[in-house]
Amino acid sequence: MAENFATYLKHPVFKVVSKLAHEKGLPCFVIGGFVRDLILERPSKDIDFVVVGDALALASEAAQILRVKKVSLFKNYGTAHFRYKDIDVEFVGARKESYSPDSRKPEVSSGTIEDDQNRRDFTINAMALDMHPERFGELVDPFGGMKDLESGIIRTPLDPAVTYSDDPLRMMRAIRFATQLNFRIEVKSLHAIIDNAYRLDIISKERIVDELNKIILTRKPSRGFELLFDTKLLHQFFPEMVALHGVETINGNTHKDNFYHTLEVLDNLSLNSENLWLRWGAILHDIAKPPTKRFDDKVGWTFHGHEDFGARMVPKIFQRLKLPLDQKMKYVQKLVKLHLRPISLVKGTVTDSAIRRLLLEAGEDLEELMLLCNADITSKNEFKVKKYRKNYETVQQKFNELEEKDRLRSFQPPIGGDEIMAIYGLKPCQHIGDIKTRIKEAILDGEIPNEREAAYELMLKLGKEFGLNPKNKSN
């Protein structure tokens, strides 16, 4: 006897759809992610129905009964969608698919529930629950999805080589589910991903990165990146990260593997923040180490300037991967550029001037920069790690003290360029720029307080040095 989950189908939409489908003589099933998550006892906000027949008509009448005003009907695709309270409900006609080698868009025709389950990506996503009143909640599981859920296995319903070649995005999804659910990918399926990795070329960067971001947002994203690397999928779209992999030894000097170091930093950070773009900062913080790597007989391996070089690489990587080129990109760029600054403060003597400058440059992103830098402490020397973390506490205390005193997060020089030009009756010129810079530097170096009167006095002094005479006195 098939397992039955009727007692778990309490949401009003199930009762309405079951009754309507029976009246219309339409076989109807709940399918896919909702069923998987129901069995795993994971929350789900999406319900997908597959209908053997007119899915659009069923969706329209169900929405009317549920008093849903807006229903989206996609006649070309035979799908419909509406939102009921906090749940997204989708209806699709049962179908079978066939693919051409150069596209992931299939030729579609009407089919049975069996045809529809055959086209699903993984056994754990092919399970369905019958909506017929006499079989309400009965599990339809032709590929052993329940057993794979219990065993923690990602497996395709049909031949994985065909499944992945037909729609190569499924390879990214396999790794995403394995990472999210902490499942393992079946060996045959894993080999099929390796064999078909090159097929990812026909997938848009937007779809690839959508799956990648879901991997990045998991509890332990390193597992997903290791799978992406081992299957050669990462090589297809993120060569800069692949280049981090590996070590080189000269005269007995070996540098660390920056690929695995990056993954360790990412995992460390993920324990303390779910911010996707901060996690991207972790992924890219050492991205320029390969092109800046040098060996020096006296000091060994160096990566001088990798933070600045890396910051310049960020826009190009974001553009190629179709990531947003807005403030999110600039935020990641800032993190990459500044990620060594707190570390240098921790290693050396902490000066007020250095902290003021970092406060000014980091601005409102200081706390997240510090989270990244803390995550970047990955030494196997436990004593060194404890020492660095203790020093970070000292630096953080200094930040708080100077911020309260100098208000540098929202730093604006007490006297701006327009006012200096008005006072001296000048247009933009070298002297005006020099005065502005010197006032800013004096405040950051602690020579004068961040106050108007002190800045005004310094401006007059500097103007005198440059042979300038005030034309108008400021209030």
Closest CA to 30 of 110, 144, 141, 131: 131
Of 123-137, 236-250, 264-278, 363-377, minimum mean pLDDT range: 363-377
Q: In terms of residues, how long is the chain?
A: 475
Task: Give me the sign of the Cα torsion angle 344, 346, 348, 350.
Answer: positive
Q: How far apart are CA 22 and CA 238, in angstroms?
A: 50
Taking the CA atoms of the chain, what radius of gyration do you get in angstroms?
30
Of 173-177, 346-350, 389-393, minimum mean pLDDT range: 346-350
The mean per-residue pLDDT over the stretch 444-462 comes to 87
Of 109-113, 465-469, 470-474, minimum mean pLDDT range: 470-474
DSSP reduced 3-state for 160: helix
Look at the block and give the residue holding tokens 């200081």.
366
Query: Given a cut of 60, is residue 180 above it in pLDDT?
Result: yes
User: In this structure, which amino acid lies at residue 255?
Assistant: H
Query: Given a cut of 70, is residue 473 above it in pLDDT?
Result: no
pLDDT given at position 436:
87
* Distance (Å) of CA 302 to CA 41, 244, 253, 297, 343: 50, 14, 11, 11, 16
Phi, psi of 343, deg, nearest 5: -65, -40
Q: How far apart are CA 221 and CA 409, in angstroms?
A: 32
Say if CB 180 and CB 115 are below 8 A apart: no
Tens of pLDDT, residue by residue over 22-41, are 999 999 999 999 999 999 99
Task: Give me the sign of the Cα torsion angle 393, 395, 399, 400.
Answer: positive
CA 301 to chain centre: 31
Structure tokens that stand for 131 in this block: 């909506």
Task: Give me the sign of the Cα torsion angle 318, 324, 326, 332.
Answer: negative
Please name the residues in contact with 351: beta carbons below 8 A apart, sequence gap of 6 or more. Answer: none
The mean per-residue pLDDT over the stretch 151-165 comes to 95
CATH class, domain 152-237, is mainly alpha
Query: Given a cut of 60, is residue 475 above it in pLDDT?
Result: no
Start-to-end CA distance of the chain, whole Å, equals: 89
Query: Given a cut of 60, is residue 100 above it in pLDDT?
Result: yes
Every domain of the chain and the residues it spans:
6-148, 152-237, 417-465
Please name the residues in contact with 190: beta carbons below 8 A apart, sequence gap of 6 or more. Answer: 231
Report the greatest alpha carbon distance in the chain: 98
For 6-148, the fitting CATH number among 3.40.50.10070, 1.10.1040.10, 3.30.460.10, 3.40.710.10 is 3.30.460.10
pTM of the predicted protein model:
0.85
Query: Given a cut of 60, is residue 1 above it in pLDDT?
Result: no
Please name the residues in contact with 473: beta carbons below 8 A apart, sequence gap of 6 or more. Answer: 423
Look at the block and give the residue holding tokens 């070309």.
76
Tens of pLDDT, residue by residue over 164-174, are 998 999 999 99
Closest CA to 173 of 364, 24, 324, 32: 32
Q: How far apart are CA 223 and CA 274, in angstroms?
A: 17
No. of helices (H) and no. of strands (E), the chain: 24, 15
CATH topology identical between 6-148 and 152-237: no
